[in-house]
């Protein structure tokens, strides 16, 4: 089977969708002729023409606002925000418009749009190239929020997102674009070519939204993770020899409660990990869900390992990023509790 990086898989997903459906259009800052600052749209304009793949003015509200208007017309825009850190100017259009259009018009108008944005840290991106704003989307009724962790899922989830009739926020962990990353920044990166999930079938396939995947089966503790933290959790389990069950959530909303609950009922323990800041982060929702649904099975408090409640720093990247050592300590603590 062909091997692809996450960048190639994402590009392939758009290619497949554009080929199948004339109504799919792709636009954003630098995505046209140049093919995107991360190369995710490389070659698409050449293939489909500038009617369907084009550069936009630097105006995030304009990008999403225009996409909402196009969707109301009947197109299926898949737009790019260059970095998730720059989605704030578009937040009004995302929250007040895209997310509510179906509801407020009683289905007369819908917003089947995908807003792709590179997210997460681990690349010395500093304050405005590292943020993980997923909780600002999962809190919004009417949005679906997706975070893939590997090329296979990235392609299948993005195709599902583009084909979905609701607005989808598609957060791409840019630290994973070229290979899995377990937080050991001192080691060389393994490319996707050497990872099983770097195998990406040609053509059309989907990974359903709202379904988690168990990345590592285990019996001692459940780890709820997504994006880069899936690999950090795998490394932590390995290094502590704790038999953790690692769940890659893939879709944060709607979430896969059944998979989460079944696992925690089995293990009796739960650690939630994400890069985003702690307070009111998505981990709080996960922790509450586990507590509400698994209270009588829990043998320890649910623990969270996350970014600190500070802006994402530059020089202190590895003190900030919740790496395998911190996750490992939490695994041990929850086992001893």
Active site residues: 129
Using the contact rule CB under 8 A, the part of the chain among 4-12, 64-72, 194-202, 221-229 near another protein is: 64-72
Distance, first Cα to last Cα, the chain: 45
Residue of the chain from 108, 196, 295, 336 that contacts another protein (CB under 8 A): 108
Residue of the chain from 73, 124, 202, 208 that contacts another protein (CB under 8 A): 73
Report if residue 241 touches another protein, rule: CB under 8 A: no
Residues 256-315 within binding reach of another protein (CB under 8 A): 257
State the minimum distance, in angstroms, from the CB of residue 200 to another protein. Answer: 28
Cβ atoms of 265 and 250 within 8 Å: the answer is no
State the minimum distance, in angstroms, from the CB of residue 45 to another protein. Answer: 14
Report if residue 166 touches another protein, rule: CB under 8 A: yes
Using the contact rule CB under 8 A, the part of the chain among 3-11, 70-78, 145-153, 294-302 near another protein is: 70-78
Q: DSSP strand E in the chain: where?
A: 24-28, 53-55, 76-80, 114-119, 144-146, 168-173, 213-216, 221-225, 244-248, 251-253, 270-277, 303-307
State the minimum distance, in angstroms, from the CB of residue 207 to another protein. Answer: 17
From residue 132 to residue 151, what is the string marking binding to another protein with x (rule CB under 8 A)?
A: ---------xx-x-------
Using the contact rule CB under 8 A, the part of the chain among 38-46, 53-61, 229-237, 314-322 near another protein is: 53-61
Report if residue 126 touches another protein, rule: CB under 8 A: no
Cβ atoms of 126 and 316 within 8 Å: the answer is no
Residues 197-236 within binding reach of another protein (CB under 8 A): 210
Q: Which is nearer to another protein, 8 or 166 (CB)?
A: 166
**What is the C-alpha to C-alpha distance for residues 268 and 185, in angstroms, rounded to an integer?**
32
Residue of the chain from 21, 34, 96, 337 that contacts another protein (CB under 8 A): 96
Residue of the chain from 20, 65, 139, 300 that contacts another protein (CB under 8 A): 65
Residue of the chain from 7, 17, 18, 110 that contacts another protein (CB under 8 A): 110
Q: What values do phi and psi take at 187, rounded to 5?
A: -95, 155
Residue of the chain from 69, 126, 311, 313 that contacts another protein (CB under 8 A): 69
**What is the C-alpha to C-alpha distance for residues 117 and 86, in angstroms, rounded to an integer?**
9
Cβ atoms of 76 and 25 within 8 Å: the answer is yes
The DSSP bridge partners found for residue 277 are 307
From residue 22 to residue 51, what is the string marking binding to another protein with x (rule CB under 8 A)?
A: ---x-------------------------x
Cβ atoms of 147 and 158 within 8 Å: the answer is no
Cβ atoms of 2 and 66 within 8 Å: the answer is no
Sign of CA dihedral 256, 118, 239, 199: positive
Q: Please tell me whether the peptide bond between 41 and the residue prior to it is cis, using omega within 30 degrees of 0.
A: no
The DSSP bridge partners found for residue 88 are none
**What is the C-alpha to C-alpha distance for residues 28 and 275, in angstroms, rounded to an integer?**
26
Report if residue 20 touches another protein, rule: CB under 8 A: no
Other CB atoms within a 10 A radius of the CB of residue 107 amount to 9
Using the contact rule CB under 8 A, the part of the chain among 12-20, 153-161, 164-172, 179-187 near another protein is: 164-172
Q: For binding to another protein (CB under 8 A), which residues are involved?
A: 25, 51-52, 56-57, 59, 61-62, 65-70, 72-75, 89, 92-93, 96-97, 100-110, 141-142, 144, 164-166, 210, 253-255, 257
């Amino acid at each position: 089977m062909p091997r692809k990086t996450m960048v190639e898989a994402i590009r392939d997903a758009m290619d497949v969708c554009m080929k199948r459906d004339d109504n799919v259009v792709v636009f954003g800052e630098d995505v046209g002729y140049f093919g995107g600052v991360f190369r995710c749209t490389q070659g698409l304009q050449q293939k489909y023409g500038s009617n369907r793949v084009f550069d936009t003015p630097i105006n995030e509200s304009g990008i999403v606002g225009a996409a909402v208007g196009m969707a109301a017309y009947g197109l299926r825009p898949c737009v790019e925000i260059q970095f998730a850190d720059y989605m704030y100017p578009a937040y009004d259009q995302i929250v007040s418009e895209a997310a509510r259009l179906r509801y407020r018009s009683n289905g007369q108008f819908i917003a089947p749009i995908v807003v792709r944005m590179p997210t997460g840290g681990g690349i010395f991106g500093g304050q405005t190239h590292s943020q993980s704003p997923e909780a600002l989307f999962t809190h919004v009724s009417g949005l679906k929020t997706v975070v893939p962790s590997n090329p296979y899922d990235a392609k299948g989830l993005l195709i599902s997102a583009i084909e979905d009739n609701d607005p989808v926020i598609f957060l791409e962990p840019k630290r994973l674009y070229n290979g899995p990353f377990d937080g050991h920044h001192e080691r060389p990166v393994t490319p996707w070519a050497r990872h099983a999930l770097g195998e990406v079938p040609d053509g059309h396939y989907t990974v359903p939204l709202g379904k988690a995947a168990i990345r590592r089966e285990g019996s001692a503790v459940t780890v709820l993770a997504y994006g880069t933290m899936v690999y950090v959790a795998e490394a932590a389990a390995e290094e502590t020899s704790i038999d953790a069950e690692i769940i890659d959530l893939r879709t944060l909303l709607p979430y896969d409660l059944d998979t989460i609950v079944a696992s925690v009922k089995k293990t009796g323990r739960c650690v939630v990990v994400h890069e985003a800041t702690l307070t009111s982060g998505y981990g709080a929702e996960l922790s509450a869900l586990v507590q509400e649904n698994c209270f009588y099975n829990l043998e320890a408090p649910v623990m969270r390992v996350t970014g600190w409640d500070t802006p994402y720093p530059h020089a202190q990247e590895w003190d900030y990023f919740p790496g395998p050592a911190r996750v490992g300590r939490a695994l041990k603590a929850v086992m001893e509790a």
